[in-house]
Amino acid sequence: MKSEINSKIMYEKLQNCLKCVRKKTDFVPKVALVLGSGLGDFADNIDVECIIPYSEIENFPVSSVLGHKGNYIFGTLNGVKIVCMQGRVHYYEGYTVQDVVLPIRLMGLMGAEILFLTNASGGINSGFKAGDFMMITDHISSFAPNPLIGQNIEELGTRFPDMSNVYHPELCSVIEETAIEDGIDLKKGVYVQTTGPSFESPAEIQMFKLLGADAVGMSTVVEAIAANHMGMKVCGISCVCNMAAGISPNPLTHAEVQAAATEAAPLFKKIVTDSITKMGKL
Ligand code: HPA
């Protein structure tokens, strides 16, 4: 009974958020882009039509993390209609996982067909180095709560959605092609999401490595699951900002992650922009 009520409340909350957005813009995006660390000023590339601060959307989760802004930015990027999330909320901030994925679902309800996820991660694969970009080919969700727990919201998708191809093969091909054209040595791999906020211990990183993970972070997977549930095509690129605990000899700091993300930003912007430009033609 409890979960039944919760799922109804969640759907009503989503519809109410959509109403708030629709009062300000009737923009229908093709691509939804989540900007991870370092990509905060990505919007500079966009012909902006409308900006909606999250704080102006009723009951919308607002991030408390330093360096994370909170806006939806609507506009065109080389002719492609796009909505960007400038800032996302994380599970470790204390939101329910259903609230963490609400902004993603909302972009799906606005009409976005493609979800492009970006993030910062710690590298586990010993072939990686700080500053590398990893296209996400698959994920491990087992260390974060599943966002679909609770009575299923039938209006969004099915109870037991398939997760065989979360990262859409056609979108992945576009990213690979773009990396070659841009001269970027794109890595590929499996991303594991932890809850955070503590970084992992070296033993945890060894475990993730044994399980087949190439990079670790505190976001993205729950978002990809929620988007796949509602039929969006998903892709993602992770900026490896540091080598993970125990692989790197140094203690990890948020400042180090942010500094690496800022340094990688120009190239990150390039591959994301060029990939989205091509995706607009699919
Ligand atoms: N672990 C988890 N999340 C991260 C890391 C890390 O090493 N680097 C950037 N985000």
**pLDDT at residue 248, rounded to an integer:** 83
Q: DSSP labels for 116-157?
A: EEEEEEEE-STT--TT-EEEEEEEE-TTS--TT-SS--TTT-
**pLDDT at residue 23, rounded to an integer:** 97
Phi and psi at residue 8, in whole multiples of 5°?
-65, -45
Phi and psi at residue 46, in whole multiples of 5°?
-100, 140
Query: Is 229 designated active site?
Result: no
Question: Of 32, 90, 112, 125, which residue is the catalytic one?
Answer: 90
The average confidence (pLDDT) of the chain is 94
Quick one: which atom of ligand 1 is closest to the CA of 194?
2
Cis peptide bond prior to 197, omega within 30° of 0: yes
Residues with CB under 6 A from ligand 1: 120-122, 199-200, 216-218, 241-242, 244, 252, 257
Identity of the residue numbered 275: S
**pLDDT at residue 2, rounded to an integer:** 56
Segment 93-123, tens digit of pLDDT? 999 999 999 999 999 999 999 999 999 999 9
Domain that holds residue 119: 2-279
Q: DSSP labels for 217-228?
A: ESSSHHHHHHHH
User: For residue 161, what are the CA distances in angstroms to 100, 122, 144?
Assistant: 19, 29, 17
Residue 68 has pLDDT above 90, yes or no: no
The single residue listed with the structure tokens 């609400």 is 102
The answer for residues whose C-beta is within 8 angstroms of residue 150's C-beta and 6 or more apart is 3, 6, 7, 10, 98
According to DSSP, residue 244 is labeled: P
Ligand 1 mean position to 46 CA, how many Å?
28
Across-strand partners of 80? 77
Burial grade of 205 (CB within 10 A; 0-12, 13-18, 19 or more)? buried
Is 68 in a helix, a strand, or coil? coil
Ligand 1 mean position to 246 CA, how many Å?
12
Ligand 1 mean position to 199 CA, how many Å?
6
Query: Is 3 designated active site?
Result: no
Segment 218-269, tens digit of pLDDT? 999 999 999 999 999 999 999 999 999 999 888 889 888 889 889 999 999 9
The answer for residues whose C-beta is within 8 angstroms of residue 231's C-beta and 6 or more apart is 108, 157
Segment 1-46, tens digit of pLDDT? 455 567 888 999 999 999 999 999 999 999 999 999 878 789 888 9
Identify the CATH number of the domain in which residue 49 sits: 3.40.50.1580
Count of structural domains, the chain:
1
- Tokens matching residue 212: 């087949």
Helix, strand and coil in the chain, % to nearest 5: 40, 25, 40
Q: DSSP labels for 185-200?
A: --EEEEEEE---SSPP
